[in-house]
Amino acid sequence: MKNRSSFFWIIGALILMMLIFQGGKEPTPDANAVQPQVVSFEEVKKSMSESSDSISKVVLIKDKFGSVQEVQVLYKDETKPALKAQVPGEAGNERLLALSEQKHISVDSLIQEEKKPTAGEQIFGAILSIVPFILIFFVIMWLMGRFAQSRMGGMGQIGQSGAKKFEPSADKKSFADIAGAEEAKREMRDVVRYLRNPGSLAYLGGKPPKGVLLIGDPGNGKTLLAKAVAGEADAAFFSISASQFVEMFVGVGAARVRDLFNTARANKPAIIFIDEIDAVGRQRGAGIGGGHDEREQTLNQLLVEMDGFVTNDALVLMAATNRPDVLDPALTRPGRFDMQVLVDAPDKHGREEILKIHTRKKRLADDVDLSVIAINTPGFSGAQLEGVTDQAALVANRRIEDQVAELRNQNVPEDEINRRVVRAITMADLDEGIDRVQMGPAKEGAASRMSEEDMKNTAYHELGHAWVSQKLYELNQGGDPVTKITIVPRARALGYTQALPAGDRFNYTDKNLRARIMMAMGGRAAQEHFLKVIDTGASNDFKQAKAMAYRMVTEFGMSDLGPISVGEGGPNPFLGRSMAVHQEAGPALADKIDAAWMKIVQECYDETLKILQEDEDCFHSICAVLMEKETILGPEFQELRNKSKCAVDQGKA
């Protein structure tokens, strides 16, 4: 904004200068004076012949060489406009002289002198000649300033951090706004106590925490937890992304780090929060530049500032990352980031509490049971749970408007409409919200537009997933019970199967992982065995199966290769994970790894085919129901299996 204002001031000054110098020009003719009328040479001769008595005189205007260029006829009546015409050469001049002598008209001659510019005009002309260059210069400078402002916060703010300051009184957060992270909140209360009373630790002889590193997957509430600490401690909160430190100019990152810490010290008690710190905190010496690139210089300055903390300074650095494995050891050692707090995905109880927070201001129907929603969302982060409630509100709003419009078209009274329409978020709306977060919105009417062949392939594919998972669950072989089967397309999927564990699972056994691989392969196996069809619908299933088998071999030691682990903590944190695995393993071991995970996938596929072959008659009958109803929930699926006598008695399994 400042650059734009300066630009307009400059343009205004230049225009004012032009107007001032225009004042040095000779005055313009009087607008009230009678101006000559420009006519043809023949009309001048005609007037001299027919109106000679009314003509005062004829003026011949010559150039500096004596050649007649123009003629003016002046009348005795001064209110009558004079006539002016161009004289066609010397012959025209002679005809005028002859006619004037014949009609006894007085003739005068006037030599037209070359007009010399005034001093004001000369100065104005000189200024005018350089004005375009001045304008171009200032326009270029203005554009450069705007570019610099977009890249670095302005030409005069290169070394400023650009951190956002959140005042405690504005949008204040507290621990009451956080659920599902009780262990993390317990650790952060120590930080709050220190910020409220910096001298309390000094009395005990202890040192305050300089830095707190929040570790967790995206969406688990790391930033919210940092804001809550600031709110509980009534401290100023400065938030910045680590990527904002690094720019194209050398030394900018280090300057911004210094400015950030100086600003925070001036507003004590304060919290500095750096999000995604792995952008500047990666291990030094691993990148291009031999350890002298801008990122490493920024990291060095950050380390210096953390070492410069004064005891009882009432200043705490907090940072968040989901890649703690790539951080430089100098950053994570005690004395810098003294505390490392895990902000993990919430358990069932935590998910229910999070849902309560996000539904406090939402209107819920009487049938809503948040505990059931918590059970049906294992592994969901806090951000995903918030997305579930927001999507459910959108679905409910659409449902209400459609129902009201339909009833009004039927001329139903308003009282009856209010009785019939549930103007609140229902359990069905929340279930749809879960599906939208996981798979995207449903393509309404898409299932009816599918060909009979595509619908049949999709039904057998999805039922194959469900059948294998449910059967392995009943046999106590690591599978999960099925909660939903649908062939209603969502996003890029023609259908999907949902199988959830009976409770929160924190560790996975060999049976659990093999069961997940078999479930992923169940769709392809069902199509191949029952329909003799192989299509492209199983590509994503293969990716999931390979990823799980690969980790079983390279991370978990669940293969014939034995207890090995490769690919973690490699020498170059900038390499992709698969590249790091092969770099650490070497060619010979890499070949064995590939053979091992391929063996696991093939064994799981063979076992999947055996399971499907055992219940062929039941499979066909339930598949017909799925094609008719398009969606089957878990209890109904189990009931159908019981009626078909395909279910396994878990007491005998």
Give the catalytic positions in this structure: 462
Q: How many CB atoms lie within 10 A of CB 416?
A: 11
Question: 240 and 273 in contact (C-beta within 8 Å)?
Answer: yes
- Cα torsion for 341, 343, 349, 351, to the nearest 10°? 160
Cβ-based burial of 110 (10 A; exposed 0-12, middle 13-18, buried ≥19): exposed
Nearest-angstrom CA–CA distance, 265 and 259? 10
Contacts of residue 115, Cβ cutoff 8 Å, sequence gap at least 6: none
Task: Supply the DSSP string of 543-565, one letter for each residue.
Answer: HHHHHHHHHHHHTS--STT-S--
Residue with tokens 């109803």: 629
- Parallel, antiparallel or unpaired: strands 83-86 and 211-215: unpaired
Cβ-based burial of 272 (10 A; exposed 0-12, middle 13-18, buried ≥19): buried
- Identify the CA nearest to 355 among candidates 340, 342, 373: 373
**Helices 452-474 + 577-614 axis angle, to 10:** 90
**Helices 252-265 + 294-307 axis angle, to 10:** 20
Give the neighbor-by-neighbor strand order of the sheet with 68-75.
37-38, 83-86, 68-75, 55-62, 107-111
**First and final CA of the chain: distance in angstroms?**
74
Question: 351 and 180 in contact (C-beta within 8 Å)?
Answer: yes
Cβ-based burial of 159 (10 A; exposed 0-12, middle 13-18, buried ≥19): middle
- Parallel, antiparallel or unpaired: strands 270-275 and 236-241: parallel
Nearest-angstrom CA–CA distance, 289 and 551? 33
